Amino acid sequence: LGIKSFAVLSDGTVYQNINKSAKLRKLEKQLKRKQRCLSRKYEDVKKRNKKKGEATRQNIQKQLLRVQKLHQRIDNIRADYMNKTIAEIVKIKPSYVTIEDLNVSGMMKNRHLAKAVAFQKFYEFRIKLETKCKETGIELRIVDRWYPSSKLCHKCGCLKKDLKLSDRKYICECGYHADRDFNA
């Protein structure tokens, strides 16, 4: 699982990050606008203080409903993509599925990554995958968060200790080079 791409499978299948799609970006832009409008309505009420009364409260309620519907629509799109991804993974009937135990709470402390991590919903993905694997009888293996999966060579097993997060390509001494996520 990752931020650049949602999930990378060992057979080379890459599930793109749904949050980078044009449809979701457009909806998030609309959400920003509608939330700004709602905020202005609240500020207006504070300034005038009971001047327009009932009509203003109704307008605030209508705008609040619009914002809530947009939040729900965005959430439904993300949940649908996640469910379809899990269904595709399980449909190929692997003998086992292995995922990393990510330090999500640590990632959320990084203010540059927090929003992207929250939108990916790694924990929800893990819970849904566990449930689906139990239903279909597939073993789910969870790799320890300290296991150096990205630093180990896929071919020879050599450990590359100086690999930084900014290095997106994995290049080994044995000549093997591939995308960092695919190698992991």
Beta bridge partners of 159: 152
Whole-angstrom distance, CA of residue 148 vs CA of residue 184? 8
Report the pLDDT value the prediction gives residue 140, as an integer from 0 to 100. Answer: 87
Burial class of 26 by CB neighbour count within 10 A (0 to 12, 13 to 18, 19+): exposed
CA torsion sign, 57 to 60 to 62 to 65? negative
The answer to whether the beta carbons of residues 158 and 173 sit under 8 Å apart is yes
C-alpha–C-alpha distance, residues 62 and 106, integer Å: 38
Closest CA to 63 of 40, 95, 79: 40
CA distance from start to end of the chain: 10
pLDDT for 103:
82
CA atoms within 13 A on the CB side of 90: 20
pLDDT, position 184: 66
pLDDT along the chain (184 residues), means of 10: 85 88 94 95 77 74 95 95 93 87 85 88 90 91 75 70 70 72 68
Distance CA 121, CA 69 (A): 20
pLDDT at 51: 58
